[in-house]
Amino acid sequence: MNVEVKGTPLPVAICTLASGESIITEKGAMSWMSPNMEMQTKGGGLGKMFSRALQGEAMFQNIYTAMGGDGMIAMGSSFPGDIMVLDVSNGPVIAQKSAFLASESTVVQEMHFKKKLGAGLFGGEGFIMQKFSGTGKVILEIDGSVMMYELAAGQSMLIDTGCLAVMDASVNMEIETVKGLGNKLLGGEGFFNTKVTGPGRVWLQTMPASSLATVLASYITTSS
């Protein structure tokens, strides 16, 4: 499968599939496609449906297959930001809830639980994230622009909660308390930061949906 991402600030992923090749998409993600793309809607069993619901995704997914020749399908972003294409053949990745847009049928999607209580309560995304493994490409939606950093073994970075979008499964994540009572109360940065430690890559998003909602709410409150 070949994937080309075009457009801003609401990008679209245009996928070209060989005859007989399939792609799994989030419910309602398809924007346009060639007429030889055949759709099937499946849940995959109660356990998988419940797992996807906990990950912030729809219980049912659509499977599109190119029939009788090469096919094309395009999926648009649901939020202003970026679309990432990652090949999990090089190793599994962990993403924020609701990041999934589409993947090759060989990609395995499952829940990922944050191991530490603090990370689950204050890490910005709750206890449950998404893990993608297997082989092939996964297509993810990112809030705002995306920046990638590659951390060496033992190298750490502090991130505002909610800005961590995706990381390699080899990266460790924990929560650190902001030092100093005055900093906590007056600094405007909250009480906690997310700490990630390598080895591995991390992808950060510049405008989490929760932060945008807070900004818009302040304007709505002021205008009313």
pLDDT digits (tens, 9 = 90+) for 121-180: 444 445 578 999 999 999 999 999 999 999 999 999 999 878 999 999 999 988 887 665
Q: What is the pLDDT of residues 27-69, one digit of tens each?
A: 889 999 999 999 999 866 565 665 655 555 666 789 999 999 9
What pTM value is reported for the model?
0.80
| pLDDT for the residue 70 | 98
Q: Tell me what pLDDT residue 58 has.
A: 63
Domain 2-223 fold: Double-stranded beta-helix (3.60.160)
Task: Give the sign of the dihedral formed by CA 213, CA 217, CA 223, CA 224.
Answer: positive
- Other beta carbons within 10 Å of 221: 8
Write down the pLDDT at residue 92.
97
Domain locations in the chain? 2-223
pLDDT of residue 219: 63
Average pLDDT, rounded, for the chain: 83
Contacts of 41 (CB under 8 A, 6+ apart): 27, 60, 61, 62, 63
Q: What does the pLDDT read at residue 179? A: 65
